Amino acid sequence: MPGQAAELVFDEATKQYEGRDEAAVDHLSLTVRAGEICVLVGPSGGGKTTALRLVNRLIPLTSGDIRIDGTSILDQDVVRLRRGIGYVIQQVGLFPHMTVEANIGTVPRLYGRPRAWIRTRSAELLELVGLDSSYAKRYPAQLSGGERQRVGLARALAGNPPLMLMDEPFGAIDPIVRARLQDAFLALQKEVRKTVVFVTHDIDEAIKVGDRIAIFRRGGRLAQYDTPQAILERPADEFVAEFVGADRALKALALHTLAELDLGAPAGGPPCPRTSTVRDALALMLQMDAQKLAVTDERGVVVGSVTREQLLS
Ligand SMILES: Nc1ncnc2c1ncn2[C@@H]1O[C@H](COP(=O)(O)OP(=O)(O)OP(=O)(O)O)[C@@H](O)[C@H]1O
Ligand SMILES: [Mg+2]
């Protein structure tokens, strides 16, 4: 089976649906580096899903090219191309008549992997996405929405694809579970280091999960492609500035954690883990009406302190 991460290049990729005046994706050129998460974000109808589906050839290109590790998708056998790409969609699309284990084994079965191998791999992947082994024999209908999303993610990873396409994978999930899934996904990505194209219409999600963000405007045109920090600090134009929101200075605080600051000597105040973002720490301070926080490590031991002034500087 394939492995590791691939570089993905959109080269003037264009899609014009039949009977439509405007292109859905218009001369899109961008490079997603191997092992990076690129988030596509933009208004509804902006061409995000179309851009994603061009990659695994669910939709044919009108013009331009898309290359994976230097090879045009047009020069690859479409079945092999798709097997090498993990695809996660909002409705997950698990097979309802198959157990969780069988769902996860879909691609490995296509590669002719033996049953024992698939069982072991499936157990590993369940653990990786934070579900215990008792889930293996359950059916999709016996899972919560968030659990189904995790199984969908495990299934997409099962063939060890160098490239993952994720279309609003956490879209229909309540904010708390969603935040947990985002954390789980980022922890997972630290281990597996896939190249990921991740679609969302939620700019906060984009900032949280993206190494780089591609902001689309209507008509599938790229407005800006940059790191979250650069987009928040230097939006390319009015459209981007408006899209990221007037509170972009506040959003930028979510890009750093307390662990990155020069902490003061341990002191009193409400406890706050050093893995918290500066934004969350500030929110806690306001909520507790505190001037200082006691910063704790993984074991809850106080390792330092921060003041409001420090967080805002
Ligand atoms: N099969 C199709 N035939 C014709 N037009 C289509 C087709 N699929 C999508 N479109 C049009 O292409 C444009 C881009 O659609 P797309 O689904 O890529 O947007 P999107 O950015 O994913 O939007 P959303 O955030 O709502 O999911 C829209 O104007 C849409 O109406
Ligand atoms: Mg879409």
Q: Report domain extents, the chain.
A: 8-252, 256-312
CA-proximal residue: ligand 1, atom 5 (nearest)? 17
Residues 69 and 81: beta-carbon distance below 8 Å: no
> Does the Cβ of 52 fall within 6 Å of ligand 1?
no
Of the pLDDT bands very low, low, confident and very high (cuts 50, 70, 90), residue 1 is low
pTM (2 d.p.): 0.85
Residues 171 and 181: beta-carbon distance below 8 Å: no
Q: In the beta sheet, which residues pair with residue 249?
A: none
Q: Which of 41-45, 59-63, 120-124, 176-180 has the weakest average pLDDT? A: 176-180
What Cα–Cα distance (Å) separates residue 67 from each residue in 73, 100, 139, 232? Answer: 6, 33, 37, 29
> Does the Cβ of 200 fall within 6 Å of ligand 1?
no
Q: Could you write out the DSSP letters of every residue in 53-118?
A: HHHTTSS--SEEEEEETTEEGGGS-HHHHHHTEEEEETT----TTS-HHHHHTHHHHHTT--HHHH
What Cα–Cα distance (Å) separates residue 119 from each residue in 42, 110, 280? Answer: 40, 15, 40
Residues 42 and 199: beta-carbon distance below 8 Å: no
Atom of ligand 1 nearest to the CA of 15: 12
Q: Which two tokens stand for residue 213?
A: 């963000």
Mean pLDDT comparison of 31-35, 101-105, 174-178, 192-196, highest-scoring range: 31-35
> Does the Cβ of 47 fall within 6 Å of ligand 1?
yes
> Does the Cβ of 20 fall within 6 Å of ligand 1?
yes
User: Which of 22, 44, 50 has most ligand 1 atoms within 8 Å of CB, for mutation?
Assistant: 50
CA-proximal residue: ligand 1, atom 4 (nearest)? 17
The CA 220 to ligand 1 mean position distance, Å, reads 9
Q: Which fold has domain 8-252?
A: Rossmann fold (3.40.50)
Atom of ligand 1 nearest to the CA of 43: 25
Of the pLDDT bands very low, low, confident and very high (cuts 50, 70, 90), residue 175 is confident
What is the number of other CB atoms lying within 10 angstroms of the CB of residue 226?
18
Instruction: Report whether pLDDT(212) > 90.
Output: yes
Mean pLDDT of all residues in the chain?
90
**Mean pLDDT of the 166-173 span:** 83
The CA 38 to ligand 1 mean position distance, Å, reads 20
> Does the Cβ of 224 fall within 6 Å of ligand 1?
no
* Predicted local confidence at residue 2, as pLDDT: 61
The tens digit of pLDDT for each residue in 61-97 reads 999 999 999 999 999 999 999 988 988 887 667 899 9
- For residue 58, which ligand has an atom nearest its CA? 1
Alpha carbon dihedral 6, 90, 144, 96, in 10-degree steps, equals -90
Radius of gyration of the chain (CA): 21
For tokens 């900032």, name the residue.
207
> Does the Cβ of 49 fall within 6 Å of ligand 1?
yes
> Does the Cβ of 201 fall within 6 Å of ligand 1?
yes
Return d(Cα 138, Cα 170) in angstroms, integer. Answer: 21
Atom of ligand 1 nearest to the CA of 220: 14
Return d(Cα 54, Cα 167) in angstroms, integer. Answer: 13
Q: Which CATH superfamily is domain 256-312 in?
A: CBS-domain (3.10.580.10)
